[in-house]
Structure 1
Amino acid sequence: MMSHVTTMVPVLELPVAHCPFWPAELGVRYLVVPRAPSAGQVGAAAWALVAWAATDDRGTVVATNAAEAVELCLASGEQGEFAAGGLRVGTGDLVLDPGCCFGLDEWRAWVDIAAGGTADLGHDPGLLVEHLGEVVRLTEVDDDDEPAGRVVELPRAELRELLHEVRSDLLGFLDALGEWARRTVPAQADRFVAAVDRRLAISPAF
């Protein structure tokens, strides 16, 4: 079970609503947030972060331009769904995506797991976290918290290393987001990048 290389990458759940304000690579449920994203990937991630504030309950876009969309996000503070997604764990052909009601803004819950603790990682599917000595076992569970048959095991030290790589991915994305924002919404660029950094807890070391 532990013979495969384990990977862990940050992902954002993309909104259903089309982005009318800037190019965005949509069309998948989860966007992997890479360390060196393309312009289309940055646009998609930015839309994932902004769309909840720029659309109504029916998914209709209510903002009239890019600057207004970002301003609505900034004005909303930390209310609402800001960063649906989380961390995707993979090993071999097995991929465990984040559960519902867990966001990329909560990714540091995994730091607690690496330190020997546990965390609520969402549902549909959920993940049961068990510590077996120096090994962390992740078991996918159904709505009744019953094992769904998919399991990943990895040493706790490896999990810590993977989390440092996740933070490096997010730092690279943040740099790319800054370049994108200065081109796309220059008046809001610094505030937007600072808000994303703060909300996703990217810069603080651990």
Structure 2
Amino acid sequence: MLIVNAVLETPGIVDFSFWPVADLPPYQFMALSGSMSPLEVGSALAMLADCNSRAGAGDRPLSGASEAIRRLLEADKVIAPGGLRVHDTRTNVTVRPGCCCGLEDWREWLDVADGETRWLGHDPSPRLEHADEVVQLWPDSIDAQNAPSGQPIKIVMGDLPGILHTVQEGLQGFLSLTKQWANRHVPTLAEDLAAKLDEDLAISEPFPT
């Protein structure tokens, strides 16, 4: 069985105090879904706010929750370190996004369903290859010139659209929880925050038929 989640890197912020966050190890991955706790949603938004509040902000420190979210809203496009995490329960192999891979590009997997390949980040450097009607994924391929070692995860090409619909449902659940979170912590920005994340992470946009 394959389990595919949209994941976001956990924040590495020390002594974050603008709103409550979960006690998570830094620079790991959290799955975004409608089953997240309020503290986990807070952690996800802390990561997004920290990652997107730097450009054009100079060195001026943030003064509170509203300013942190406002800077996130001012980003040209939200950057979300992460991507899709694929786990095969049969072989216990997991392919995680590499460094510099962004969840905002998750819809590029639709191109994979059309026979294209895509870059999945580095350090680790996941690798994707097409083999007939199957997509093969390796967790880490140090040398792109040589065949990767180990057992790949195999995804039937025809299954990809359904998998991506499930990913979209998870993101829609996260978006709903985000709006609830914002109504508690930054109520005047709740609608704008939900709209910004929906647009920049391409959550609700229908898939092409």
Residue from 9, 15, 20 that aligns with 1:13: 9
Structure 1 partner of 2:167: 166
Asked whether the 8 Å contact 2:4–2:86 carries over to 1, the reply is: yes
Structure 2 partner of 1:139: 138
Residues 17-166 of structure 1: matches in 2 within 5 Å? 17-18=13-14, 19-28=16-25, 29-54=28-53, 62-78=61-77, 82-92=79-89, 93-145=92-144, 146=146, 147-166=148-167
Larger CA deviation: 5-14 vs 36-45: 36-45
Structure 1's unaligned 5+ residue stretches are none
% of aligned pairs identical? 36
What is the CA–CA distance in structure 1 between the aligned matches of 2:24 and 2:143, rounded to whole Å?
31
Q: Secondary structure at the match of 1:101?
A: coil
Larger CA deviation: 27-36 vs 168-177: 27-36
Asked whether the 8 Å contact 2:96–2:139 carries over to 1, the reply is: no
Q: Which has the higher strand share?
A: 1
What is the CA–CA distance in structure 2 between the aligned matches of 1:139 and 1:97, rounded to whole Å?
9
What is the CA–CA distance in structure 2 between the aligned matches of 1:90 and 1:53, rounded to whole Å?
29
What is the CA–CA distance in structure 1 between the aligned matches of 2:115 and 2:93, rounded to whole Å?
24
TM-score normalised by length of structure 2: 0.86
Deviation at 1:50, TM superposition (A): 0.7
What is the CA–CA distance in structure 2 between the aligned matches of 1:38 and 1:72, rounded to whole Å?
24
Q: Secondary structure at the match of 1:168?
A: helix
What is the CA–CA distance in structure 2 between the aligned matches of 1:15 and 1:188, rounded to whole Å?
22
What is the CA–CA distance in structure 1 between the aligned matches of 2:40 and 2:185, rounded to whole Å?
14
Asked whether the 8 Å contact 2:51–2:80 carries over to 1, the reply is: no
CA gap of 1:61–1:10, structure 2 versus 1, over 3 A, is farther
Structure 2's unaligned 5+ residue stretches are none
TM-score normalised by length of structure 1: 0.88
Q: How many residues matched?
A: 197
Query: Aligned-residue CA RMSD in angstroms?
Result: 2.0
